[in-house]
């Protein structure tokens, strides 16, 4: 069996691949779901502060200079991903 790993989102009852999948139209596939663990991408406030401190050069301040500013930026980006086209 030839396997291929992809990332996708589930929205409105449909699994949507995040990238183009190169398969012939009508190709039957088998899907095994593995959900990322909740919180695996969530940093503590202290970890965020440490990252802010480590940022330097042209990237420093791009998304904000405080944990609150960066959290607000991330929230606005996530909301833009969820909009309908």
Q: What is the pLDDT of residues 4-60, one digit of tens each?
A: 888 888 888 888 888 888 889 999 989 888 877 665 566 777 877 777 777 765 566
1 belongs to a structural domain = no
Q: Smallest Cα–Cα separation from 61: which of 45, 73, 76, 79?
A: 73
pLDDT of residue 82: 64
For 44, the domain range is: 8-81
Reported pTM: 0.38
32 belongs to a structural domain = yes
Cα 77 from chain centroid (whole Å): 10
| Angle separating helix axes 45-54 and 67-81, nearest 10 degrees | 100
pLDDT of residue 28: 92
| Apex 39 CA angle, 31 and 72, nearest 5 | 115
At 29, list the tokens. 């596939």
2 belongs to a structural domain = no
Q: For residues 5 and 44, give the distance between their C-alpha atoms in angstroms, rounded to a whole number.
A: 30
20 belongs to a structural domain = yes
Q: How many domains does the chain have?
A: 1
3 belongs to a structural domain = no
* pLDDT value at 85 more than 90: no
């Amino acid at each position: 069996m030839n396997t291929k790993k992809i990332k996708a989102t589930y929205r409105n009852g449909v699994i949507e691949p995040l990238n183009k999948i190169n398969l012939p139209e009508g190709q039957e596939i088998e899907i095994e779901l593995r959900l990322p663990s909740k919180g695996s991408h969530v940093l503590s406030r202290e970890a965020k502060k440490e990252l802010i401190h480590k940022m330097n050069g042209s990237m420093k301040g791009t998304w904000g200079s405080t944990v609150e500013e960066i959290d607000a930026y991330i929230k606005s980006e996530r909301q833009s991903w969820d909009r309908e086209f």
